[in-house]
Chains A and B, each alone.
Chain A
Amino acid sequence: MKTSLIGVTLLSLAMGARSLAAPPLPAEHLTAEKLPPNNAHRIYVLDEAFINEIDARVHLFDGDTYRRLGQIDAGFSPGFNLSPDGKTSVIGTTYFSRGSRGTRTDVVEFTDNTTLSTSHEIVLPPKRAMTLPTYFNVAYSADSRFVYVSYVTPAASFGVLDPAKYSVIGEIDTAGCVLVIPSGPNRVSSLCESGRLLTVTLGAEGHEASRAMSDAFFDPDKDPIFVQGVPITDGYAFLSFLGEVHEVDFSGAGPVFHQPWSLVSAAEKGQWRPGGQQVGAIHRHLGKLFVPMHRGGEGSHKDGGTEIWVFDMKTHQRVARWPVTTQKLAPVVAVQVSQDDAPILFAATDRSDVAVFDALTGHLRHVEKQLGQTPWLMLNP
């Protein structure tokens, strides 16, 4: 008791001395933070939230300050994309009227990327493809005139939306071919189980004007491609399970297929493979391709990469191997690279962390722990 009394007395004296030395803190004003101006190292990380799947969200993360800047809510099993000017986020998602159950409402929501306010929505027929996020679940036309949404019921089709009038223009049947790969102001290509691409060309009002089926450009039985494309200057590159790179030029009236090339040597083929959810990223000006690679066999195509391999897109030569597990990172399931002259490579792991690398050297700068539960798609304007 005596000791306690002495302690209290000393504490009171100390507090009194401090109060004499410094003025009290001023009263604070509650405000809402404004989003800082965009920069090249901002990234949008889609967390599928697989363990409570009705509650996906997009986290905005700054690759320079390592700050989380804000969030866009994304509902259930969403698709996500950015407008061509980067000013708008578009999310195709589903809500149930009683949270986890009840009437299903499929919707496309538009969020202003300067304020993170969700400003508009378009209610869809209940057909939206509920699948893993890619560039091609929901996408803008190059001139932002249309937004396309992939439908699977399981019959495949897509919706054409008017993002200016916030209305559904119509639905176009795709004869079993899936997803919406946009090109130009009015073309949509879809991947078919035969290894071909169906390309639908729209008229000025957004209705089908014509369609064409390409030749097969990969073998879905022997070596399927991942549906997650990687943007290149004139289209997308698709990686195959065994490491072939199929570059597809979508700049013309129909897709043009470049000669495939391989990420792996003959000795590595079947041993080392790309894998994960977002299986590649390309710095288009530098012509560098980043791929998470792992050792594995058939069925390992969703395994994350224990190394990131870097390729020159012109010479098709591997120019670097960056082991990630030696840096105490879990296998990498998604990659994205900023497009500036001091690029950052973002790598999401299967333990929900997002690593920030110098994309020129492979130097690990930062690990952002637990950026959501299941960060499976990362986009940047």
Chain B
Amino acid sequence: MRSIDHLFEKSARSLARHTSRRSLLAALGKVLTGAALIPLLPIDRSFRAQAAEPAAGKKAEANPATDDPNSCDYWKYCAIDGFLCSCCGGTSNSCPPGTAPSPITWIGTCHNPTDKRDYIVSYNDCCGKVSCSNCVCNRNEREKPMYRPSRNNDLNWCMANADSNYHCSVSVILGVAEK
């Protein structure tokens, strides 16, 4: 859930030394297509905004139960534990005004019931203001404890931001997961 500045560069180097990124990437490699979209999670995903646009022409009829980005039941939110930015002035993949996205994050795989595809999504926290406190959402599909940080939603992913206060969370499509 929380911050990146000069700290981040140092943190990223340290992380690269000490976390098992290899195993994460191996796992990702088994399920992902469109590998060009995959950043080196959970290191630096500050460029994910350019890579995160959903594929054009894939929209189908909205399912009221699962296609409402203000609902915790929205399919993309399958491992969000926090406040939905879409209820806080942002959208499902953009931060509210005046907050800053966390460049480091956790990831998950969510099933879109509309197009029947599984998607790899990254959950970023939006940082720099106190808790939004609107639309609390606690879903944990395939979420893992803190010893597997890339899959953990309990950490404040604003931790490396200049302002590391946690405000809310978004879900950003990275690509399609193979069955």
Contacts and interface: CB of A to CB of B under 8 A. Distances in A.
| Contact residues of A: prevailing secondary structure | loop
Contacts, number: 127
B23 A175 contact: no
A129 interface: yes
Contact of A101 (B140, B142, B165): B165
Interface stretch (B88-96, B114-122, B126-134): B126-134
Contacts of B159: 130, 152-154
A131 B155 CA distance: 5
A52 B130 contact: yes
Contact of A175 (B11, B18, B142): B18
Interface in B127-179: 128-131, 133, 136, 138-149, 154-156, 158-160, 163-166
B66 to A, nearest CB: 15
A301 interface: yes
A184 interface: no
A227 interface: yes
Contacts of B20: 176, 193-194
B50 interface: no
Interface in A277-325: 298-302
A357 interface: no
A72 interface: no
A238 B139 CA distance: 22
Interface residues of B, number: 46
Given A53-B131, A104-B3, A299-B142, A155 B17 contact: yes
Nearest to B14: A155
B163 A96 contact: yes
B148 A224 contact: yes
| Contact residues of B: prevailing secondary structure | loop
Given A104-B164, A154-B19, A154-B160, A301 B140 contact: yes
Interface in A132-188: 132, 152-156, 173-179
A220 B148 contact: yes
A192 interface: yes
A299 B143 contact: yes
Contact of B7 (A51, A54, A126): A126
Interface in A96-148: 96, 99-102, 104, 126, 129-132
A335 to B, nearest CB: 18
A54 B131 CA distance: 8
Contacts of B155: 129-131, 152, 154
Nearest to B18: A176
Contacts of B107: none
B147 A54 contact: no
A211 B71 CA distance: 47
Contacts of A52: 130-131, 133
A302 B145 contact: no
A193 B147 contact: yes
A236 interface: no
Nearest to A174: B18
Contact of B147 (A50, A173, A192, A302): A192
Given A129-B155, A155-B19, 5 more contacts: A126-B7, A130-B166, A131-B156, A192-B147, A299-B141
Interface of B: 1-3, 7, 10-11, 14-15, 17-20, 23, 42, 78-79, 81, 104, 128-131, 133, 136, 138-149, 154-156, 158-160, 163-166
10 contacts: A53-B130, A129-B155, A130-B164, A153-B11, A153-B15, A178-B149, A191-B146, A193-B23, A224-B144, A301-B143
Interface of A: 50-54, 76-77, 94, 96, 99-102, 104, 126, 129-132, 152-156, 173-179, 191-194, 220, 224-227, 298-302
